[in-house]
Structure 1
Amino acid sequence: MVISHRMQKWLSAGLAMLMLIGIVVPAGQSAQAATDNSNIVISQVYGGGGNSGAELKNDFIELYNPTDKAVSLDGWKVRYASASASGDLATTKNITDLKGTIPANGYFLIQQAAGTGGTKALPAPDALGTLTLGAASGKIDLVNSAGASVDMVGFGEATAYEGSGPAGLLSASLAAVRKTATGAPEGSRGLDTDNNANDFVVQTPDPRNSSYGIKQAVEAVTAAPASNAWPQGTAITLNTATVGASVYAAVYIDGASAAYTPYSGPIQLNAPTTIKAYASVSDEVYSTVSTFDYTLLTKQNISAVRPAEKGDNVWTEGIITRIDGAKMYIQDKDAAIVLYGFPAFAQVGDRVEVQGAMDIYSNLQELKTVTGLTYKVTAENAGVPAPKLITAADLSAAKGEAFEAQLVTLKDVTIDSKVGSSFIASQGADTFTIYSTLAPLAVGKHFDQITGVIEQFNATYQFIPLGAESLVEELFSVIASPGAGPIIIGGQVTLSSPTAGAAVHYTIDGATPTASSPLYTTPITVDKDIVIMAVAVLDGQTSKVYTFEYKASEQPRIHDIQGESHTSSFAGQTVTDVEGIVTELGYTFANGNYKGFFIQDPKPDNNINTSEGIFVYSTNASLKPAVGDHVAVTGLVSEYNEGSSSNLTSTQITLSSIKTIAKNVELPAAVVLGKGGRIIPDSIIDNDGLTLFQPSEDAADFYESLEGMRVTLPTPTIISPYWTSGGGNSIVYNVPVRVENTSQDVVTPTGGLVLKGADNLNPQRLLIAYGNPGQEVGTGDKFNGNVTGVIGYNNGNYKVIPGNGSLPSITPSTFKQETSTITVNEDKLLIASYNIENYYPGVGTAKIQKLAESITVNMKKPDIISVVEMQDSDGEGNNGNVEASAAELIQAIQAAGGPAYTYVDIAPVNNADGGAPGGNIRVGFLYNAARVKLSDSINGQKGTATQAVGYDAAADELTYNPGRIDPNNSAFDSSRKPLAAQFEFNGEKVIVIANHFNSKSGDNGPFGNVQPPVLSSEVQRHKIAAVVNGFVKEVLTANPSANIVALGDLNDFQFTQTATILKGNELDNLIDKLPLNERYTYTYDGNSQVLDHLLVSKNLTASAEIDVVHLNADFPESRGRVSDHDPVLAQLDLNADFSLRVLHTNDTHSHLETVVKRMTAIKQERTGNSILLDAGDVFSGTLYFTKFEGLADLEFMNYIGYDAMTFGNHEFDKGLPTLRAFIDKADFPFISSNIDFITKNNELKDIFVNKVGGSDSATPVEDGHIYPSVIKEVYGEK
């Protein structure tokens, strides 16, 4: 085939990026109106949106570009006037400014105002306006960036129009649609004879946007393998996904010139080569040009390959110094590197040659296997290089990279502290991190010498010991490998001394070894229980005696390897012919690549605490078994950690050989989880620091007891949208689910699991680890069948891993996005907190429109909105800009039928407030100026990023409005500063404080090896909460009747110390007024939880209404999710009268048989503005009193929370000692003013306070004390 002259000219001119939509023309070169189809025209007008009988919710104006070039509409506008409006359109104020590009032969949709009706949204608009068009008549024109009117349409009874008359009369079901020009594409809307009556037809509205009718270009050419360095002779193939397209390629070898020729077959790589290629279906329809660059892969030493970029192929050689699960460490004379994911093709001490791709995981450089690249052993038992002697100072951030992956030794090391699996060790004045769970490591221990490898994890260079024997407490000593403990019969023990030149002498007969005992020369084979005692001898000196006791073990079965523990006692030993049935193949979630298999013992023991399953790691396809094979495997047992120092480990066998005993064997029955099977612990993850193994109580132990085993989840319910963890080939889709388990679950209306308390993180929720499930999911979706898989551990969580491709189909939930249940009262203030998830104008029209609709429709147009996660106007462009823009969002809200909000914030110091670099995230306020007013301030202006706001009680004004609370306080380092603003509503003032506390980054996960988890991030949140509460306290001290609202994303739960500190004695958290199953604004790790709060001063609590509008957290984007948080909405009555409800009980006389009914009645009748009193005579009357002397009654009274009690005559029936015991255990005060507690009743004298309780700071109301009266505060009233 010969390439046409036109195609050659196009290619040589460098127009490879030309697409079918054409080239964008600058605004200054816009087309001019004409009747020859060379102009942009108004192609459709509809003004009946949202009217009665309308299907569409919005009015709209549609433009059409009949030219062959795309045109920029930046600076253009559309103008509207009513049909009878006097003057021309040049004087109208009804204008929508345009921005964007209208494609060649394409459309541009301008959404306008919404009505109250309609059921259908427009296609995604290209621009948003707020014009309310006439439903029947009106006039519109289009103005270019030079200010010239390029098209005009009058419709209905318009008094201005083009030509002989206007287009026809419109309605709720009719639009004016421009006709097709002669010779133009069928159905296009470009007829322009400058006569509206002739050019338009009235018909059903049919809006088109810029995506309408665009033909897909030919798919670009792809190459396999991709651009990189490859071995000489590699065959490169080219392809395009477009069916029927031909590929043309120009192959430039060593820089020589080349011409495009038809591609006919693989291209051999024998020199540095560049390939340029495109695909074509005709001279007119072709793809962009793709460029592929290849170099020849050459072998280099390790120090030369380490600087390679991530993804670069490299070829190197070294000696294996350590094998740990999926990791091999190789080293040459100068440097070292980690191999990750290679099969078990070599042993420690072998010299290997490897080709792989550079990867960087948490800053650790690794080589990974790549199809087409090879690895091999070049010399067996080449000898492990001697460890390099380094110091703790060498592991600093500045020096550590030089030693990454190398075998090293440090001397004179002391263990100072422990955090999870990491120890902080010191050597003189320098400290470094040891990452290990080895038993010899303990705080306070000193080691003469330690040997291991160096790994970088994030910013830290960690020392990882080779094993227990590499931790030498005394140099002049003897070490044994493996260490004392169980050893497989036939296993061998090696003895050595860390002291150079020292000889080892030993005994195995119980005799004390001396320098005359047998000299150790060869490994000791163990075939029975044995005690080895040994000494080191050098230059006439003999060390102390070292004893190693071994218990000989038959070849273990899987449950022996797993044991009742999170780690295996056989780790580091090779096991032979371990039998099991292959239950599932292991695979990489991203692409399904094979990486091993799970086996389960066909002959389980009778101990449910020991797992019968285990993962066998291998990427050697030649040893790959089939599911259902009964096999015997041989390999090294290890505890695999995927990378994080706080992870638990997974016990696995690294395969060296496999035997097939039988095929097509029935798989072991899967363990059913939940009701009808094994009940999952539903409150405790671990309560003993992982020191005890209690699967019936601790969820971490429960899942560990099933590690590697088949389990079944009966038709599980999905409890939040999925999320991904990992990245690249390691990406995992996590689908959280619940099964019927116990009655303790608190289930949301959508079907999620509510987080109930700080000590209960719903450990019964389950995570399914899978590749992309092929559809987005939401809370309440249900699998159409049981999910069966194996229990594994991934990214800090135990997970159920189904077989690749075995996940059942999913039925979506019918639950819809909520609209607030609050009935809006015009005399009350409607206020909200809304995290709008990294908003800036560049998020796109679709998100802006959805946000606007959620505010207008779902949230019912709040008067004040505290917006969280507002970024600067260019998002994460790190260019020094800090100013935010809400103009596009405000315009979209108006277009959706909402008010014209005003936005106010204080821009932060560049990159000082955390979040994405350059994003300059902050909080701000949208407020409806038609309903509320931003109050005056003492300084008559808003504050700066570094000015602290104060409160002037005399003026009842903030010093700045808005102003930041103590922005220079270290509590706010790298975090958002709270913003206080004062508003006026219906003659009342209210101070609103917007918050976004620091994130939970850095906290230990709930299923990690640090138990209880260390929540390091909450320290800062506690400090922030204290600062904000201090400001609230300052205002209320100066003005006790001040109205205060503190709201926003606290990044912590309502039952945490963070919320308690913020609340103090000054505020109430309105979240607490919601039913328990409604208390969530966010989903994380499968838990529905509260992060977004709305607190008010106590004078506002009683009359406040609160609602979390569940429209995001439960839903995927395909069902309308526009943020990861739900908004919190409250309606406040700033002028409400206070009412107090008094509940009281009396003469209960120990009738505990009715106590449940009594407690139920109190709960039903009790409201927030209630006090609960008891008028006495709790004592005497039943056998319950005879047995418990009132203390049983008191348990229930404390539980329900009485506010106070007085005495009846029967309280004195058993004498004062009995009454004193009752009072001492009470969680409330007692009131009595007619009893002499001082002269006669000495037993009660020391707990009687002869002053009004709470009358001053010196007389607080204390539980278990007696007062003549007390002052009780209820919702700010005393």
Structure 2
Amino acid sequence: MPRPSLTGRRAAPLAVAAGLALVVAGPAAAPAHAASTGLVLGEVYGGGGNSGATLTNDFIELANRGSGAISVEGWSVQYRPAASGSWQVTTLHGSVPAGGTYLVQEAAGAGGTTALPTPDATGSIAMSGTSGVVALVSSTAPLSCTTVAECGAVDLVGYGTATLHEGGAAPGLSATTSATRRPGPDTDDNAADFTSETPSPQPSGAGGGTTPPPTPGPLRIHDLQGTGFVSPIDGTAVTNVPGVVTAVRKSGSSKGYWVQDPAPDADPRTSEAVFVYSTSPKVAVGDSVLVSGTVKDYYPLSSGETVATTSNLSVTEISGSTVAVLKHGVALPAPEVITPTSVPGTYAPDLGGANIETAGPLDPSRSALDFWESREGMRVELDDVRVVGPSNSYGEQYVTTKPDQARTPRGGTLLTAENATPSGRIELATTDGSALSLDVGDSLAGPTVGVVDYSTFGGYLVSATSLGSVVKGGLQQEVATPQGRRQLAVATYNVENLAPTDPDSKFSRLATGIVTNLATPDVVALEEVQDDDGAVDDGVVTAGVTVSKLVDAIVAAGGPRYSARSVDPANDADGGQPGGNIRIVFLFNPSRVSFVDRGAADVDRTTTGTAVTGILPRLTLSPGRIAPTDPAWDDSRKPLVGEFRFQGKQVFVIANHFRSKGGDQNADGRFQYPQRSSEEQRIQQAKLVHDFVASILRRDPLAATVVLGDLNDYQFSPALAELRTGSTTGKGLPILSDLINGLPADQRYTYVYDGISQVLDHILVTPATRLYGPVDYQVVHLNSEFSDQVSDHDPQVVRLFGSWL
């Protein structure tokens, strides 16, 4: 796992309602009467004063969705119990302005602590807090109807178990929830039109709704956004900022909506849109609004982070907001079409580690970070984009706006150097949280339209309100070439926190990958094998159950019954998922290769390191660990070393799982270039492994040695240079050859992270290994490019000794 997760922040980060054209609708029932286009019931709450309620009174709120004021003089709101009963009446007076609301206060309960805002009308109806029927009627005569058609009401909502309702019933209510109308047109289906929300009564204002509409204040959105990454008026209260609602987010941890000014200025640095934070947004796409509140630069924070320590960029938003809706159905600003040449070729500027937010004004032609910041919140259109990072369970995927940039043969986009993030790659999420199940190489034909946002985990994204048509690219899992009779096949596979509590399907799919896709290697080094009760922090460190379950699954998949060797870690000492005690395990096919066990059975191999001894090299402990008490391995996996025999030939295998990149600054964030604080520990780990290999070669320069595993670093990194040569500059004498570098440059990747194909897993061999025959090496792509993956890493395999005998 190369990056840290952000604890508790991934739950539905982009679950938003904004009218995606992705829903397959069934046959529509004919409405009981024409859907309302003017005055409607906007919110109904019957839990006022009940146990657990904050508000003291029940209420009914009207909303005017028309283009002009509507008089309610001589009208009424009426209530009837859920099953049957007499209608109770509250008379209305005055009018409701265009885009305005009208608050009707009803009976109080014994509890609650907060009075309603000043109501526009007052009644004494004790409404049910769970189920009932409310009607808006253009007279004050009590209704006597039992069907919607008989009632002839202006609008009607039945909630909970009510037997009278338009279409289906609205959700049942409680002391803490109201039935709140969704944005969008009235469909005459209460179930579709209303959702359960926190009560939020809003009066239309003094005079019973006759207050004239407000006018725009002195500031426009581009004044809020300014010419830099942070708002020039961060922390300042603003009044009546005009804009048009372009998208709405109704769920998740950051509810609200985006507004964009249809009258932009001439400065390319200033965004014309802003996010409005609102726990209960009551606006619809196409509403012309005036927004008031406080300008705030919001930073998404992971567990333990503060605004001062995070490397994420901020999102400029209006918080503590209120809104006046001036008009519905306004045309949205046209989206900017992003072409392959729109975004600069450089992803981020080199500022020597400085904060881009304080390094001067934006320059949209300088970097992708500048470009997307200058369009924060604005509508953009991506045409015919290719997927470069598969969909995940959080509704995220990555696409590229530059189809020819660093392209892999399978459709990804490649990391070719440190700090060389492909600038065309951009995250894409649907504003309603739809799961798309896209693989690398798939595409979205035609326009995909959305608003520019910044991810909870760092990095710009397009929150799509409409998607292009999905075109599958037909990506297939790869299958390795089987080893010959005289070839030794050695593989590495990170099995991603494999635990006995995982479903049988995971074991079955991993087994199929080993037997079919890897062609049953003779030796498999597994990383991230958890202990016998998984991520339960109870002191258990053995992993026999986990390993046996995988071995049995391999047999069931048609493979051999592998034998296994490993060394249990000290409890909670090797990092990874707390309580999981991940470790490295060797599986080997005893009919093809033998394991040389060395060392007394009573030696504590957890803390006692193996060493190389003898005139010809042999291990003091096999299996053993390299310098397990060295500080280089603090809170990290220790390498597993084993001595094997293949057709009489001695082979040393050193399996590794170096420290992850957790704790590094965000490559998509404000510090450029980011600090890689985890790198120093990997360099120290690489030095210990390099020196161990050197101790083997000093005794036998022709010793066949394979170093492999999840090294959590790139082929061009200082850590890999240290491992190969004993120097972070790579200028020392190489004693190991990194086989990934023998592949064509566009095929060098084993992992896809945030839409970037990159190398984290490696197989290295000593130079003399090639004397025994061709070295055949393959990365077997079967996971990282697919939305349906059993691990986030791709395995790889090397075949040795083809002409040795």
1:432-471 equivalences under 5 Å are none
1:1028 matched to which residue of 2? 689
- Answering whether residue 254 of structure 2 is matched by residue 585 of structure 1, we say no
The answer (yes or no) to whether the contact 1:913–1:976 under 8 Å persists in 2 is yes
1:628 matched to which residue of 2? 286
1:392-471 equivalences under 5 Å are none
Structure 1 residues 933 and 842, CA gap change in structure 2 (3 angstroms): same
- Answering whether residue 782 of structure 2 is matched by residue 1111 of structure 1, we say yes
How far the C-alpha of 1:1039 sits from its partner, in A, is 2.2
CA distance in 1, matches of 2:639, 2:567: 10
How far the C-alpha of 1:1008 sits from its partner, in A, is 1.9
CA distance in 1, matches of 2:612, 2:322: 76
2:792 to 1117, 1124, 1130: 1124
Structure 1 residues 759 and 656, CA gap change in structure 2 (3 angstroms): closer
SS in 2 for 1:790: strand
How far the C-alpha of 1:994 sits from its partner, in A, is 0.7
The answer (yes or no) to whether the contact 2:702–2:769 under 8 Å persists in 1 is no
1:904-943 equivalences under 5 Å are 904-937=565-598
How far the C-alpha of 1:999 sits from its partner, in A, is 1.6
SS in 1 for 2:550: helix
1:566 matched to which residue of 2? 229
CA distance in 1, matches of 2:571, 2:313: 39
SS in 1 for 2:558: coil
SS in 1 for 2:384: coil
- Answering whether residue 718 of structure 2 is matched by residue 1078 of structure 1, we say no
CA distance in 2, matches of 1:584, 1:1090: 37
The answer (yes or no) to whether the contact 2:343–2:368 under 8 Å persists in 1 is no
2:738 matched to which residue of 1? 1069
1:761 to 398, 421, 425: 421
Structure 1 residues 561 and 967, CA gap change in structure 2 (3 angstroms): same
Higher relative contact order (CA 8 A, sep 6+): 2
Unaligned 5+ segments in structure 1 are 1-223, 236-263, 267-295, 301-354, 358-369, 378-553, 725-731, 1138-1278
SS in 2 for 1:893: helix
SS in 1 for 2:684: helix
CA distance in 2, matches of 1:955, 1:265: 91
2:716 matched to which residue of 1? 1055
2:52 matched to which residue of 1? 230
How far the C-alpha of 1:1076 sits from its partner, in A, is 2.1
The answer (yes or no) to whether the contact 1:769–1:799 under 8 Å persists in 2 is no
1:444 matched to which residue of 2? none
- Answering whether residue 348 of structure 2 is matched by residue 684 of structure 1, we say yes
Q: Tell me the TM-score normalized by structure 1.
A: 0.44
CA distance in 1, matches of 2:378, 2:447: 16
The answer (yes or no) to whether the contact 1:796–1:1007 under 8 Å persists in 2 is no
- Answering whether residue 388 of structure 2 is matched by residue 735 of structure 1, we say no
Structure 1 residues 680 and 941, CA gap change in structure 2 (3 angstroms): farther
Task: State the AA in 2 paired with 1:684.
Answer: A
Q: Number of paired residues?
A: 596
How far the C-alpha of 1:908 sits from its partner, in A, is 1.1
Larger Rg, first or second structure (1 or 2): 1
CA distance in 2, matches of 1:1116, 1:1045: 32
SS in 2 for 1:604: coil
How far the C-alpha of 1:996 sits from its partner, in A, is 0.7
1:925-964 equivalences under 5 Å are 925-937=586-598, 944-964=605-625
Structure 1 residues 767 and 1074, CA gap change in structure 2 (3 angstroms): same
How far the C-alpha of 1:566 sits from its partner, in A, is 0.5
CA distance in 1, matches of 2:667, 2:654: 32
SS in 2 for 1:637: strand
1:614 matched to which residue of 2? 274
What whole-Å deviation, never above 9, does each CA across 1:882-941 have from its counterpart, x for those lacking one?
211222322222232212211110111122211223221100100111111112536588
- Answering whether residue 670 of structure 2 is matched by residue 1003 of structure 1, we say no
1:747 matched to which residue of 2? 407
Task: State the AA in 1 paired with 2:792.
Answer: D
1:845 to 495, 501, 504: 504
Structure 1 residues 599 and 683, CA gap change in structure 2 (3 angstroms): closer
The answer (yes or no) to whether the contact 1:940–1:960 under 8 Å persists in 2 is no
- Answering whether residue 513 of structure 2 is matched by residue 854 of structure 1, we say yes
What whole-Å deviation, never above 9, does each CA across 1:599-639 have from its counterpart, x for those lacking one?
22222222222212222333455xx4433334343332221
1:1157 matched to which residue of 2? none
The answer (yes or no) to whether the contact 1:746–1:1076 under 8 Å persists in 2 is no
CA distance in 1, matches of 2:559, 2:498: 19
What whole-Å deviation, never above 9, does each CA across 1:1163-1219 have from its counterpart, x for those lacking one?
xxxxxxxxxxxxxxxxxxxxxxxxxxxxxxxxxxxxxxxxxxxxxxxxxxxxxxxxx
Task: State the AA in 1 paired with 2:227.
Answer: E
2:260 matched to which residue of 1? 600
How far the C-alpha of 1:798 sits from its partner, in A, is 3.7
Structure 1 residues 1062 and 872, CA gap change in structure 2 (3 angstroms): same
How far the C-alpha of 1:671 sits from its partner, in A, is 1.4
CA distance in 2, matches of 1:1107, 1:988: 23
1:41 matched to which residue of 2? none
SS in 1 for 2:685: helix
Structure 1 residues 961 and 655, CA gap change in structure 2 (3 angstroms): closer
SS in 2 for 1:700: helix
SS in 2 for 1:842: coil
1:670 matched to which residue of 2? 335
Task: State the AA in 1 paired with 2:779.
Answer: V
What whole-Å deviation, never above 9, does each CA across 1:951-998 have from its counterpart, x for those lacking one?
113253100111110001111111111011011112211110010112
- Answering whether residue 374 of structure 2 is matched by residue 705 of structure 1, we say yes
What whole-Å deviation, never above 9, does each CA across 1:1074-1116 have from its counterpart, x for those lacking one?
1222222111111111111101111125731111101111123
The answer (yes or no) to whether the contact 1:1081–1:1108 under 8 Å persists in 2 is yes
Structure 1 residues 657 and 878, CA gap change in structure 2 (3 angstroms): closer
CA distance in 1, matches of 2:636, 2:111: 47
SS in 1 for 2:395: strand
CA distance in 2, matches of 1:297, 1:987: 85
1:103-252 equivalences under 5 Å are 230-231=52-53
The answer (yes or no) to whether the contact 1:944–1:963 under 8 Å persists in 2 is yes
CA distance in 2, matches of 1:617, 1:891: 53
Structure 1 residues 847 and 265, CA gap change in structure 2 (3 angstroms): farther
SS in 1 for 2:509: helix
State the superposition RMSD in angstroms: 3.4
The answer (yes or no) to whether the contact 2:531–2:542 under 8 Å persists in 1 is yes
Structure 1 residues 975 and 897, CA gap change in structure 2 (3 angstroms): same
Structure 1 residues 356 and 1044, CA gap change in structure 2 (3 angstroms): farther
CA distance in 2, matches of 1:371, 1:629: 21
How far the C-alpha of 1:1050 sits from its partner, in A, is 0.9
Structure 1 residues 608 and 970, CA gap change in structure 2 (3 angstroms): same
1:1013 matched to which residue of 2? 674
Task: State the AA in 1 paired with 2:611.
Answer: G
The answer (yes or no) to whether the contact 1:935–1:957 under 8 Å persists in 2 is no
Task: State the AA in 2 paired with 1:866.
Answer: A
What whole-Å deviation, never above 9, does each CA across 1:1200-1248 have from its counterpart, x for those lacking one?
xxxxxxxxxxxxxxxxxxxxxxxxxxxxxxxxxxxxxxxxxxxxxxxxx
Unaligned 5+ segments in structure 2 are 1-45, 58-81, 85-109, 115-174, 178-195, 204-216, 726-733
What whole-Å deviation, never above 9, does each CA across 1:369-421 have from its counterpart, x for those lacking one?
x94567999xxxxxxxxxxxxxxxxxxxxxxxxxxxxxxxxxxxxxxxxxxxx
The answer (yes or no) to whether the contact 1:943–1:961 under 8 Å persists in 2 is no
How far the C-alpha of 1:853 sits from its partner, in A, is 1.4
How far the C-alpha of 1:860 sits from its partner, in A, is 0.7
- Answering whether residue 304 of structure 2 is matched by residue 640 of structure 1, we say no
Structure 1 residues 815 and 374, CA gap change in structure 2 (3 angstroms): closer
1:817 to 467, 477, 483: 477
SS in 2 for 1:831: strand
The answer (yes or no) to whether the contact 2:335–2:381 under 8 Å persists in 1 is yes
- Answering whether residue 493 of structure 2 is matched by residue 834 of structure 1, we say yes
2:534 to 875, 887, 895: 875
Structure 1 residues 660 and 1005, CA gap change in structure 2 (3 angstroms): same
1:194 matched to which residue of 2? none
The answer (yes or no) to whether the contact 1:828–1:1134 under 8 Å persists in 2 is yes
CA distance in 2, matches of 1:229, 1:733: 38
